[in-house]
Amino acid sequence: MTNSKDILQHNLDYTFFSWSKQGGLNPINVASAEGVYLYDTDGKRYIDFSSQLMNVNIGHGRPEVAHAVAQQMTKLNFVAPSMATEPRGLLGKKLAEVSPGDLTKTFFTLGGAEAIENAIKIARVYTGKHKIISQYRSYHGATYGAITAGGDPRRHPVDTQQAPNIVHVDNPYSYRCPWYSSSPEECGERAIKNLEQVILYESPDTIAAILMEGESGSSGCIKYPPFYLKKVRALCDKYNILMIDDEVMSGFGRTGKYFAIEHHDVTPDIMCMAKGLTAGYLPLGAMIVRPDIAAAFETQKLPLGLTYSAHAVSCAAALAVLDIYEQDNLVERAAEMGQYLDAQVELMKAKHPSIGDWRNTGLLGCFELVKNRTTKEPMCPWNGSSEVMNNVAAKIRALGMFTFVKWNFIFVAPPLSITKEQIDEGLAIISQAIAIADEQVV
């Protein structure tokens, strides 16, 4: 067996790590994982407080998924996506049952970015129009079309080769409202007016779709005002524009509903998903559309194709994961644990003056740390770094937690199976780390 030092060195010498300078890295050398915990090769335990990349919704190490994958592998591992298989058909049927409204027909991909790419393609072909409107504070994946559609600054190094015909608008980010509003509702109303003005500037006859996340994720869990997505839907209907809902991060119970858009009582025309679809156990993504869009390709060739589309083993994994959501009532559990999490964070806010804002829906939450609650000066600038936030992140790791720390944000998105005691354990670690930021408050 390879020793832990060699395992780490092989990773560093022969593989690239995402979104990082490759020199000086010190990744957690993971040996195993179970439930909400990871274990490194030295036996140190880490509580997984962001479900890795907000995708391991059922927790680590569920034997039911391993069994389903092994069974499928013994019967059929791969066939061309032009062929029909039992798990493909069953999964498509299941997604039609759990998806909002009349979304019924699915194209399978290998991840979220591919789902977004294909949603953009099908929207353009179906409408005969070409522009896509999306938000600046959003993330939709790292392939060229998806990274351009998102507003995350990680796109900047490749902006010279960005995909064409993407138009960005501001979010209704009420904590830092671009229109200097006095309430979330006012910010939302002004955001809708701005969106409609952009539609008119760009010409509705050129806009294929508006693409938005069902619930904001890695851009800072920016909460939509309650009416916002309904009014986006109304603008889409008014100007004959499709609505694409990105549920890659927010889907499959993460927000306390099966899909985040259900909080807003809205049905999109196209919905993208991945991450929680298999809870990360195997790669799989999907794009599901309404019947009128599907019907258009009964006589017109569908211009989408991937070698590994509807991979039988990945579909089998997804079916096992969806069973776990239902058997363990994980969607309802996410809502319940989210309420408990919110209550505990309220206590933390009284203790830590650097907590400027806490935004959360179910178990998709984010602390925003500031130097001053009145001025809202961020502990770290947007798309920047700071020694204090580096120290906060280092403290979190040292105390035995893995979670997503970005700019002045600390994300909280644990597996939906988490208990109250484990939430307390995780928040105690974050509290110790935030104490470092408290020292910078003025």
Band of the pLDDT at 159, cuts 50, 70, 90?
confident
Residue 106 carries which side chain, given as an amino acid letter? T
**Residue 267, pLDDT score:** 97
Answer whether 235's CB lies under 8 Å from 192's CB.
yes
Average pLDDT for 341-357: 98
Q: Percent of the chain, pLDDT > 90? A: 98
Q: How confident is the model at residue 18 (pLDDT cuts 50, 70, 90)?
A: very high
The predicted model gives 138-147 an average pLDDT of 96
If you average pLDDT over residues 10-30, what whole number do you get? Answer: 96
Q: Which amino acid is at 81?
A: P
pLDDT tens digits for range 203-236: 999 999 999 999 999 999 999 999 999 999 999 9
328: pLDDT strictly greater than 80: yes
Beta-sheet strand order (sheet of 30-34): 30-34, 37-40, 45-48, 401-402
| Confidence category of residue 158, pLDDT binned at 50, 70, 90 | confident
Please state, rounded to an integer, the average pLDDT across all residues of the chain: 97
User: What pLDDT is attached to residue 327?
Assistant: 98
Per-residue confidence band for 160, with pLDDT thresholds at 50, 70 and 90 = confident
Q: What pLDDT, on the 0 to 100 scale, is given for residue 101?
A: 97
Q: What is residue 268's predicted lDDT score, i.e. its pLDDT?
A: 98
Residue 1: pLDDT over 80: no
What tokens does 220 get?
């800072």
Cα–Cα distance measured from residue 405 to residue 397, given in angstroms and rounded to the nearest whole number: 10
Q: How far apart are CA 225 and CA 49, in angstroms?
A: 26
Closest Cα to residue 409, out of 440, 434, 438? Answer: 434
> Are the C-beta atoms of residues 442 and 356 closer than 8 Å to each other?
no
Helix (H, G, I), strand (E, B) or coil at 109: strand
**Which amino acid does the sequence have at 22?**
Q
Distances (CA, A) of 110 to 68, 176, 297, 369, 423: 18, 35, 22, 35, 31
Average pLDDT of the segment spanning 290-317: 97
Average pLDDT of the residues in 334-345: 98
Rounded Cα gap, residues 70 and 68, in angstroms: 6
Neighbouring CB atoms inside 10 A of 394's CB total 13
Instruction: Work out the average pLDDT over 324-341.
Output: 98
Q: Give whole-number Cα distances, 96 to 189, 324, 344, in Å.
A: 33, 18, 37
Task: State both tokens at 201.
Answer: 């500037």
Residue 18: count of CB within 10 angstroms of its CB: 7
Within 10 A of 368 (CB to CB), how many other CB atoms are there? 22
Indicate the Cα dihedral angle 372, 354, 378, 368, nearest 10°.
-130
- Hey, what are 128's tokens? 């005969």
Q: How confident is the model at residue 2 (pLDDT cuts 50, 70, 90)?
A: confident
| Each residue's pLDDT tens digit, 239-276 | 999 999 999 999 999 999 999 999 999 999 999 999 99
pLDDT, tens digit, 9 for 90 and up, residues 171-189:
999 999 999 999 999 999 9
Task: Give the mean pLDDT of 405-424.
Answer: 98
Query: Cβ neighbours of residue 202 under 8 Å, at least 6 residues apart?
Result: 131, 133, 167
Residue 398: is its pLDDT beyond 80?
A: yes
Residue 411, helix vs strand vs coil: strand
The DSSP bridge pattern shows strands 45-48 and 409-412 to be unpaired
- pLDDT band at residue 287, thresholds of 50, 70 and 90? very high
Q: How many residues does the chain have?
A: 442
Integer Cα distance of 190 and 172 in angstroms: 8
Residue 271 and residue 247 in contact, taking contact as beta carbons nearer than 8 Å: yes
Token code pair at residue 223 = 């909460």
Report how far residue 138's alpha carbon sits from residue 130's, in angstroms, rounded to the nearest whole number. 20
* Average pLDDT value for residue range 136-150: 96
The stretch 374-400 carries a mean pLDDT of 96
Q: What percent of the chain has pLDDT over 70?
A: 100
Dmax (CA) for the chain in angstroms is 65
The order of strands in the sheet holding 405-406 is 355-361, 364-369, 409-412, 405-406
Banded pLDDT at 429 (limits 50, 70, 90)? very high
* Confidence (pLDDT) at 133: 98
For the whole prediction, is pTM greater than 0.95?
yes
168: nearest Cα among 144, 187, 149:
149
Q: 132 - beta bridge partners?
A: 166, 209
Amino acid at residue number 373: R
Helices marked H in 203-278: 228-239
The torsion of the CA quartet 364, 367, 373, 376, rounded to 10 degrees, works out to -80
pLDDT for 26 equals 95
How much is the pLDDT for 114? 98
- Say if residues 103 and 288 touch (Cβ distance below 8 Å): yes
Give the mean model confidence (pLDDT) for residues 381-398: 95
Question: Residue 347: which pLDDT band, with cuts at 50, 70 and 90?
Answer: very high
